Structure 1
Amino acid sequence: MSEGWDREAFRAAYVADGGTPASARSYVSYLNRAERVLEGLPEGGGSGLIDRAERLPVHVWGGERERRDSLAALRCFVRLAGGVAATPPAVIREDRDDRLMQLLRDAQRIGAEYYRLTGKPLGVTGEIAEYEAARALGLTLCVARTPGHDAIDPANGDAVQIKGRAVARDDRYRGMCPAILCDADVQVVVLVLLDRTTLTAIEVWRTDIAAVRRRIAGLASARRRAEGVLAITQFTSIATRVVPPVPSSSPVP
Structure 2
Amino acid sequence: MPLYELEKLIAETRALAARYRETTGQTLPVTGEIARFDAARHLNLIPLEPREPGVDAVGSGAHADRRYQIKGRVIFNEGKSGYRIGQLNTSGDWTHVALVLLDANFEPYRIHEIHREAVLEALADSSGKRSRRGAMSVAKFEAISDLVWTRENGLEEQIWSND
Cα distance in structure 2, aligned partners of 1:128 and 1:172: 22
SS at match of 1:127: helix
Q: In the alignment, which residue of structure 1 is the partner of 2:121?
A: 214
Q: 1:187 corresponds to which letter in structure 2?
A: T
Q: In the alignment, which residue of structure 2 is the partner of 1:232?
A: 138
Q: In the alignment, which residue of structure 1 is the partner of 2:67?
A: 159
Cα distance in structure 1, aligned partners of 2:117 and 2:42: 23
Q: 2:42 corresponds to which letter in structure 1?
A: A
Richer in strand (by share):
2
Find out whether 1:184 has 2:101 as its counterpart. Answer: no
Deviation at 1:119, TM superposition (A): 2.1
Find out whether 1:139 has 2:45 as its counterpart. Answer: yes
Aligned residues: CA RMSD: 2.3
Structure-to-structure mapping, 1:10-49, within 5 angstroms: none
Q: 2:110 corresponds to which letter in structure 1?
A: E
Residue ranges of structure 1 left out of the alignment (5+ in a row): 1-94, 249-253
Richer in helix (by share):
1
Deviation at 1:97, TM superposition (A): 4.6
Taking structure 2 as the reference length, what is the TM-score of the superposition?
0.82
**Structure 1 182/96 Cα, relative in aligned 2: closer, same or farther at 3 Å?**
farther
Q: 1:104·1:128 contact (CA, 8 Å) conserved in 2?
A: yes
Q: In the alignment, which residue of structure 2 is the partner of 1:129?
A: 35
Find out whether 1:201 has 2:108 as its counterpart. Answer: yes
**Structure 1 198/177 Cα, relative in aligned 2: closer, same or farther at 3 Å?**
same
Find out whether 1:243 has 2:149 as its counterpart. Answer: yes
**Structure 1 172/186 Cα, relative in aligned 2: closer, same or farther at 3 Å?**
farther
Deviation at 1:115, TM superposition (A): 1.6
Cα distance in structure 2, aligned partners of 1:224 and 1:174: 13
Cα distance in structure 2, aligned partners of 1:147 and 1:122: 23
Q: In the alignment, which residue of structure 2 is the partner of 1:47?
A: none
Q: Which structure ranks higher in relative contact order (CA pairs < 8 Å, sequence separation ≥ 6)?
A: 2
Aligned pairs, how many?
Answer: 152
Deviation at 1:98, TM superposition (A): 4.7
Q: Deviations over 1:95-140 (max 9, x none)?
A: 4555444332221121112122222211101111111211211111
Cα distance in structure 1, aligned partners of 2:112 and 2:124: 20
Taking structure 1 as the reference length, what is the TM-score of the superposition?
0.55
SS at match of 1:150: strand
Structure-to-structure mapping, 1:64-83, within 5 angstroms: none
